[in-house]
Structure 1
Amino acid sequence: MKYILNIETATKKCSVSIANEGKTIVCIEIAEEGYSHAEKLHVFIEESIKEAGISYKDLVAIAVSQGPGSYTGLRIGVSAAKGLCYALGIPLIAVDTLKALAAQVQVESGLIIPMLDARRMEVYSAVFSADLELKRAIEAQIISEDSFKEYAETLYFIGDCASKCKEVLSQPNFVFLVDIVYPSAKEMSAFSFEKFLKNDFVDVAYFEPYYLKDFMVTTSKK
C-alpha cells in the first residue's frame, strides 16, 4: 500500500485527495468565489485521512499542484505540503496544474487546451494531445481572435476563463467544454504515483511554485 496525499490549491477550488498506488480513494474539495484555502485546506486534509481509514504515518509522499495559478493559493498549498513532508520525513512531489486539468478531458483525438484566468484577456495555457503529451509549453498569453489559428485539429478548451474566451475564439474547430472549470486533486493521483515510482521528487527546502508571472503588489487608491 502506497498512499499519497495530493493537494490542489492553484485556483478557487481547494481540493485534497488520498490515492493508493495511483488510484484516488478519497477526494474532498470545494470551489468558492472567495478563496477559503487557508481555512479549509488543513480541515480537508484531516477529513481525507480519516475517511481513507489511514494515519499520517501511512503516507509515503505528499504531492502538490505546482502551478501556474493563484499566487496566494499556490503558496498556501505548497506551505502545507512542505510542513507535512518535514514533519513526516517523506518526499515532496510537484504535479503540473494544467496537465492535471487537461486529464479531465476524455477524447480520442484532437488537442486539449487547458486555460486558467490571469486577469483581463490574459490566460495561462498549454496544449496537450488527447493522450496528454505536451504539444506546446505553458505560456502566459493574451487571447485574441488569432490565438490558436495555427491548429487545424479540433481544439477542446477547458478552464475558468471559457466565458471571456468564447467571445473571441470563434473558429469552427474550437470546442468549449464549459463544465470543466478547475483542476482537482483527483487527477493528480496517477501523475504523483508515476513520479513516486521514478523517485522524481523536488527539494522540500527550495521548491517554489511555478508562478509564471511575477507577483505584483498594488497599492490601494483609497
Structure 2
Amino acid sequence: MALFLHIDTAVDYASVCISDNEKIIAYAENAATTAHASWIGNAIRELFTSNQLSMNRLDAVAVSNGPGSYTGLRIGLATAKGLCFALNKPLICLSTLEIMANAVKEAPEDLICPAIDARRMEIYTAVYKKDLTILRPPEALVVYEHSFEDLLANHRVLFTGNAVKKLQATITHSNAVFSNIRYSAADMPYLTIKHYSENQFADLSYAEPFYLKAVHFNKN
C-alpha cells in the first residue's frame, strides 16, 4: 500500500483526494474560487479524520503545479510544501495540463489538447499523444479560427479544459472535438505513482509554481 495526498487548486474548482496507489479512498472539492485558501486546510484534515488515517502514513504529497491561476497555484504549492516539511515527506509537482489530458486519455481521438482559460482570447495549452507523450510543450497563445489548423488537417483532436467554450466558439474544423469533462485531483494518482516510482521529486526549498507567463505583482 502506498498512500498519497493529491492537491489541486490550479483552476476554478479546488479538490483534494487521498489514494491507495490509484484507488481513491477519499475526495473533497470546493467550487468557490475565492475561498480555496480558507477551505483547503480544513478539507485535508477532515478527509484524514473521517477516514481514520494518519498523515504520517503518507508516502508523498502531489500538487497540480500549473499553469493556472497565479493565486490558486501559490495556495496549492504552499499547502503541499508545508505538509511535506512538517511530515518529512517527498513532494511531487505535476503539470496541470498533463492531469487534464490524463482525465480524457481513454477517448478515441488521436491527440489531446488541454486548454486553460487565461482571460480574453488567451489560453494556456499543450498537445499530447494518447500515451501522454508531449507533442507540443506548454505555451500561452491567443486563439483564433485557424489555431491548431496544422494538427487538425490530419488528426482528430480532443480539446478539454475550462477554455473549451472559448475554443468551441472559435475553431470550426470538422476534426475538432470538444470535451466537457472536468478534471480534478481524482485524475492525479496515475501520474503521481509514475513520478513516485521514478523518484521524480521536487526540491522542497526551491520548488515554485509553473506560471508559464511572467508574474507582475502590483507594488502599490
TM-score, reference length from structure 1: 0.92
1:192 equivalenced with 2:186 (yes/no): no
Partner of 2:210: 210
1:92 equivalenced with 2:94 (yes/no): no
Quick check: 1:22–1:191 contact (8 Å CA) kept in 2?
Answer: no
Q: Deviations over 1:160-208 (max 9, x none)?
A: 112222121110111111x224x31111111111211111101001000
Cα separation, 2, equivalents of 1:219 and 1:58: 42
Cα separation, 2, equivalents of 1:26 and 1:128: 29
Deviation at 1:218, TM superposition (A): 5.3
Cα separation, 1, equivalents of 2:119 and 2:216: 12
Give the 5 Å matches for 1:24-63.
Answer: 24-32=24-32, 34-63=33-62
Partner of 1:167: 169
Give the 5 Å matches for 1:67-216.
Answer: 67-105=66-104, 106-151=106-151, 152-177=154-179, 179-181=180-182, 183-216=183-216
Cα separation, 2, equivalents of 1:36 and 1:125: 26
TM-score, reference length from structure 2: 0.93
Cα separation, 2, equivalents of 1:212 and 1:93: 18
Quick check: 1:6–1:64 contact (8 Å CA) kept in 2?
Answer: yes
Amino acid corresponding to residue 73 of structure 2 in structure 1 = L
Cα separation, 2, equivalents of 1:51 and 1:188: 21
Amino acid corresponding to residue 162 of structure 1 in structure 2 = V
Deviation at 1:89, TM superposition (A): 0.6
Query: Secondary structure of the residue that 1:24 maps to in structure 2?
Result: strand
**Please, which moves more after superposition, 161-170 or 90-99?**
161-170
Quick check: 1:69–1:211 contact (8 Å CA) kept in 2?
Answer: yes
Partner of 1:13: 13
Cα separation, 1, equivalents of 2:101 and 2:49: 29
Quick check: 1:125–1:139 contact (8 Å CA) kept in 2?
Answer: yes
Amino acid corresponding to residue 180 of structure 1 in structure 2 = I
Quick check: 1:121–1:142 contact (8 Å CA) kept in 2?
Answer: yes
Quick one: percent identity of the two aligned structures?
40
Length, aligned pairs only: 217
Cα separation, 1, equivalents of 2:181 and 2:51: 26
Gaps of 5+ in 1: none
Query: Secondary structure of the residue that 1:135 maps to in structure 2?
Result: strand
Query: Secondary structure of the residue that 2:149 maps to in structure 1?
Result: coil
Amino acid corresponding to residue 112 of structure 1 in structure 2 = I
Q: Deviations over 1:14-52 (max 9, x none)?
A: 1101011232222111223x4211111111111221243
Gaps of 5+ in 2: none
Q: Deviations over 1:104-149 (max 9, x none)?
A: 2122341111000111111000111122221111110111111100
Quick check: 1:109–1:129 contact (8 Å CA) kept in 2?
Answer: no
Cα separation, 1, equivalents of 2:148 and 2:132: 18
Cα distance change, pair 192–158 in 1 and its aligned pair in 2 (3 A): same
Q: CA RMSD in A?
A: 1.6
